Each structure stands twice: as C-alpha cells, then as structure tokens.
C-alpha cells in the first residue's frame, strides 16, 4: 500500500497535463486555471450513427 501512495505522491508533485477530447469547453476551463492542456479535435466516427459505424468496421 505504501508503494501505491508513494507513486500517487510522485504523480501529484509534478505539473500535470490534461488531454481534452472533443468538448472545447472542458479544455478551456482547465486553461482558465493556468494548467496545461492538449486540445484534441475529436468527434465520433460517422457522427455517432451506429449503423454507419458498423459498415465502416466491415471495411477493416
């Protein structure tokens, strides 16, 4: 258990970088707190339409 606590303390003792996928507002909230964030412009494939996703999966 002590090893896990030491690991967590080591993670929290260094600056964190957040990765924000898709929703820009969440990333902006992190930036507003002067934290580092990587904004990834992501959206679900095929607009989230499961039928189209299934068709795309068949192409692989």
Give pLDDT tens digits for 2-25.
Answer: 888 899 998 889 888 999 998 889
In this prediction, residue 43 carries a pLDDT of: 87
- Give me the chain's average pLDDT, please: 91
Q: At a CB cut-off of 8 Å and minimum separation 6, what does 17 contact?
A: 35, 36, 37, 38
Confidence grade of residue 60 (pLDDT, cut at 50, 70, 90): confident
In this prediction, residue 14 carries a pLDDT of: 85
Query: DSSP 3-state assignment of 38?
Result: strand
């Amino acid at each position: 258990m002590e090893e896990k606590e030491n690991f967590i303390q080591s993670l929290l003792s260094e600056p964190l970088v957040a990765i924000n996928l898709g929703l820009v507002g969440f990333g902006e909230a992190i930036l507003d707190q002067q934290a580092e964030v990587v904004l990834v412009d992501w959206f679900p494939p095929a607009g989230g339409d499961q039928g189209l996703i299934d068709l795309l999966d068949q192409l692989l």
